[in-house]
Structure 1
Amino acid sequence: MSDSEEWKARGVFLRVFVYVFATHLFAGFIWLLFYVGGHAPK
């Protein structure tokens, strides 16, 4: 495999990792909002 193909593959893996991490971070933030909202004194 040439260097450029290896670099592209690494870029794809890095991008997927970043997208998955960002999505989980966003989902965790939304979950936190619901959790805090549900436990707020009424």
Structure 2
Amino acid sequence: MSSDPYAVLRALLRAEAARSTPKPEAKMTEPPRPRPQQQKRG
């Protein structure tokens, strides 16, 4: 077992930071799709 009790917390923080950081190559690779219009029932 690790001698550092905060190692797991730091690893979780690093993983979350890496996951939530926007990727530079993922800048609008495809145009936003228009939303399908909801059909109204009358």
TM-score (normalised: structure 2): 0.47
The structure richer in helix per residue is: 1
TM-score (normalised: structure 1): 0.47
